[in-house]
Amino acid sequence: MSADLTRNQALVMKTLSGAEAPLSAYTILDRLRGDGLRAPLQVYRALEKLTELGLVHRLESLNAFVACAHPNCHEQELIAFAICEDCGKVEEFSDDVVKDRLDGWTRSHGFRPAKTTIEIRGNCGGCAGKA
C-alpha cells in the first residue's frame, strides 16, 4: 500500500501535500534541509518513486511537481491539468471523450502511446476576475 513510504519519500510527500502550488525539486529540497536532506538526488529519487505510485504528478510545462488531488488517482487514466499562472493553483481532471479522441488518433496512426501530457496554462476563476 501507499502507507509504507520511506523516510525521504514521506518527507517529500508531506511537503507537496502541504503546498498551495507546484514545487520544483530544489524548492522541496530547501524546505527539507531542516530535516537533514542535503542533495538534489535525495529529492529526485523520492519524487520518482512517488510518481510511480501515482501520488505525485510532474507538470512538464513547469518542471515542477504537485501532489495528486485525487484519493487514488490511477495512472491508467488520462489526466489533464489546469494551472493558474498567477496563484499557482492546479486543478486536475479527466475527460473520457478527450481520451477516446486521442486514443483514436494514435490507433489510426499506428502510434503506441506511453504517456500523455495535457496542461492548460492560464488563469483560474479567482485570478481571472481580478485582472
> Which residues are known binding-site members for Zn(2+)?
84, 87, 124, 127
In whole angstroms, give the CA distance from residue 74 to residue 59. Answer: 17
Pick one of 19, 53, 80, 124: the residue that binds Zn ion (CB under 5 A). Answer: 124
Rounded distance between C-alpha atoms, residue 69 and residue 61, angstroms: 18
Decide if residue 13 touches a second copy (CB under 8 A): no
- The position carrying cell 530544489 is 26
Q: Is 84 in the site for Zn ion (CB under 5 A)?
A: yes
Q: Which stretch binds a second copy (CB under 8 A): 8-16, 26-34, 49-57, 87-95?
A: 87-95
Using CB under 8 A, which of 80, 87, 88, 92 touches a second copy?
80
CA atoms of 56 and 44, how far apart (whole Å): 12
Query: Coil, strand, or helix at residue 71?
Result: coil
Of the candidate spans 22-30, 36-44, 65-73, 99-107, the one that interacts with a second copy by CB under 8 A turns out to be: 99-107
Cell numbers given for 6:
520511506
How many Å apart are CA 93 and CA 13, to the nearest integer?
21
| Footprint on this chain of a second copy (rule: CB under 8 A) | 60-61, 80, 82, 84-85, 91, 93, 95, 97-98, 101-102, 105-106, 109-125, 128-129
